[in-house]
């Protein structure tokens, strides 16, 4: 099976051809945004961080910014820095440039302030755009796809229908040799032992237990026990009887394949197959982390409906709640409620989802992409100082 993809100089394949502006800190984010306005179609990532960060939190933001530039959906990159921020501007440039993609840089303090930096940035972005706007996709094998799976605004239809169906689509891509990424560590709590059985090795299982344990410990620092009170009274009223049931409802959106490895937030997997990335359950930060991990397409199951998109990868919305599909038809792409009504099996809808992924890879735009939804946020694991 094949799709049309953009082969980048490093061999990775994207399904979009974005010109991207990455501000290295919040201080350069307005200039980055202004430059993007002058070259239609350019995407400027919002960045609320990049300075006064320490330790693992600093490393995480740095890794995420670099890896977003490396994402195969991105054709060319302009890095915009202030000059004195914590994130090392030129390291970001050099690392992204290892992909062989064209990269330029503007530093506000060196250019001489807003207007001069904006002019320099617009000139450089125009030059980059001229290099990449006409790149043509070529026929590539389906294994070149990197799929991120997310769930948000869940209700009883999520665990029952849309997530298992998403899992079928995940299994199809994994079996074909592609990458699949599951995240939202908070949601494994209660079923991590089941996930661990699918780990490729005892080391991977240990790492999985560790990220779940660390997640619970972080909550305890704020005097919050994530396991207590789960399932919630609302869940129980809705029919969820145990934390295992709740957690399994989330986990099976990534199918049944062997787990190749556990990724840090924003880390790129080294091989094909199913990976778990350590992210919070918060959808936007979760998706943003997986984009840094190289995800080129996102499927997002929802029960109550959410409009969330992403700046550099198309997000396909799936709901099995018929009422939600009708009410939020402007945002929902796939109606999986036929599983609930019995008109289709989970397997049939899973195949439909997989077929849609291929169509989107070939250029069809899901509703979030048409509407310009570009929600984005980098996960922070320590306070700013």
Partner 1 sequence: MQKQAVVINSHDNVATVVDDFAAGTLINFFIGGSEQSVKLLQNIPLGHKFAICEIKPQEDILKYGECIGVSTTLIIAGQHVHVHNMESKRGRVNDNHS
Q: Is 305 helix (H, G, I), strand (E, B) or coil?
A: coil
For partner 1, the binding residue among 114, 232, 341, 362 (CB under 8 A) is 341
- Residue selected from 43, 46, 176, 216 as contacting partner 1 according to rule CB under 8 A: 216
- Whichever of 11 and 238 has its CB closer to partner 1, that residue is 238
Q: Which is nearer to partner 1, 19 or 154 (CB)?
A: 154
Q: Which stretch binds partner 1 (CB under 8 A): 11-19, 139-147, 275-283, 340-348?
A: 340-348
Site string for partner 1, 345-384 (x = CB under 8 A): xx--------------------------------------
For partner 1, the binding residue among 109, 242, 282, 351 (CB under 8 A) is: 242
315 binds partner 1 (CB under 8 A): no
* DSSP H stretches of helix in the chain: 29-38, 55-70, 89-97, 108-111, 114-132, 156-157, 163-175, 192-197, 202-221, 233-237, 243-251, 283-292, 322-327, 338-341, 346-361, 367-370
Per-position x/- string for 186-205, each x denoting binding to partner 1 as judged by CB under 8 A, each - no binding: ----xxxxx-----------
Buried b (16+ CB within 10 A) or exposed e, 344-369: bebeebbbbbbebbbebbeeeebbbb
219 binds partner 1 (CB under 8 A): no
- CB-based burial of residue 241 (10 Å sphere; 0-12 exposed, 13-18 middle, 19+ buried)? exposed
Shortest CB 226 distance to partner 1, Å? 9
Contact yes or no for 26/51 (Cβ under 8 A): yes
Instruction: Work out which of 117, 145, 160, 263 binds partner 1, going by CB under 8 A.
Output: 160
Residue 133 in 3-state DSSP?
coil
From candidates 175, 239, 326, 370, binder to partner 1 by CB under 8 A: 239
Q: Which listed residue (30, 123, 156, 176) binds partner 1 by CB under 8 A?
A: 156
Identify which of residues 113 and 238 has a Cβ nearer to partner 1 in the complex: 238
Per CB under 8 A, which region of 47-55, 138-146, 224-232, 266-274 contacts partner 1? 224-232
Q: Tell which one of 126, 132, 176, 340 touches partner 1 (CB under 8 A).
A: 340
- What is the three-class DSSP state of 42? coil
User: 211 is written with which tokens?
Assistant: 């990220």
* Interface residue with partner 1, options 81, 152, 249, 269 (CB under 8 A): 249
Q: Which residues contact 15 (CB under 8 A, 6 or more apart)?
A: 3, 5, 6, 73, 145, 296, 297, 313, 314, 360, 361, 362, 363
Q: Per CB under 8 A, does 304 bind partner 1?
A: no
Q: Shortest distance, CB of residue 219 to partner 1, whole angstroms?
A: 11
| Listed residue (189, 247, 193) closest to 220, CA to CA | 189
**Pick from 194, 200, 199, 188: nearest CA to 151:** 188
Binding status of residue 252 toward partner 1 by CB under 8 A: yes
Identify the burial level of 219 via C-beta atoms within 10 angstroms of its C-beta, where 0-12 means exposed, 13-18 middle and 19 or more buried. Answer: middle
Q: Where on the chain is the footprint of partner 1 (CB under 8 A)?
A: 156, 160-161, 164, 190-194, 209, 212-213, 216, 225, 227-228, 230, 236, 238-245, 248-249, 252, 339-343, 345-346
């Amino acid at each position: 099976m094949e799709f049309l993809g953009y082969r980048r100089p490093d061999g990775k394949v994207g399904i979009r051809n974005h010109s991207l502006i990455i501000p290295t800190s919040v201080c350069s984010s307005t200039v980055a945004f202004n430059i993007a306005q002058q070259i239609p179609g350019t995407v400027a990532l919002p960045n609320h961080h990049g300075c006064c960060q320490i330790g693992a939190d600093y490393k995480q933001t740095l890794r995420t910014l670099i890896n977003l530039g490396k994402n195969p959906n991105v054709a060319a990159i302009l890095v915009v820095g202030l000059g004195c921020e914590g994130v090392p501007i030129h390291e970001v440039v050099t690392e992204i440039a290892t992909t062989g993609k064209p990269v330029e840089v503007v530093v506000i303090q060196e250019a001489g302030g807003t207007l001069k930096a904006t002019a320099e940035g617009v000139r450089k972005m125009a030059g980059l755009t001229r290099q990449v706007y006409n790149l043509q996709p070529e026929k590539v094998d389906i294994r070149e796809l990197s799929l991120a799976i997310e769930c948000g605004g869940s209700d009883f239809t999520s665990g029952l229908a849309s997530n298992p169906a998403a899992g079928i689509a995940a299994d199809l891509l994994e079996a074909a040799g592609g990458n699949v990424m599951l995240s939202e560590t908070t949601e494994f709590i209660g079923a991590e032992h089941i996930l661990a059985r699918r780990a490729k090795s005892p080391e991977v299982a240990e790492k999985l237990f560790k990220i779940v344990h660390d997640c619970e410990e972080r909550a305890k620092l704020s005097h919050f026990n994530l396991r207590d009170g789960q399932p919630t009274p609302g869940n129980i009223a809705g029919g969820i009887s145990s934390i295992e049931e709740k957690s399994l409802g989330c986990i099976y959106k990534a199918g049944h394949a062997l787990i190749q490895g556990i990724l840090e937030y924003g880390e790129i997997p080294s091989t094909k197959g199913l990976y778990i990335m350590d992210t919070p359950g918060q959808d936007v930060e979760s998706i943003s982390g997986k984009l840094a991990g190289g995800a080129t397409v996102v499927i997002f199951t929802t029960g109550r409906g959410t409009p969330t998109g992403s700046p550099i990868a198309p997000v396909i919305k799936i709901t099995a709640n018929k009422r939600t599909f009708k009410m939020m038809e402007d945002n929902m792409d796939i109606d999986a409620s036929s599983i609930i009504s019995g008109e289709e099996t989970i397997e049939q809808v899973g195949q439909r989802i997989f077929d849609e992924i291929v169509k989107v890879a070939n250029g069809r735009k899901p509703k979030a992409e048409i509407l310009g939804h570009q929600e984005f946020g980098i996960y922070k694991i320590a306070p700013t100082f």
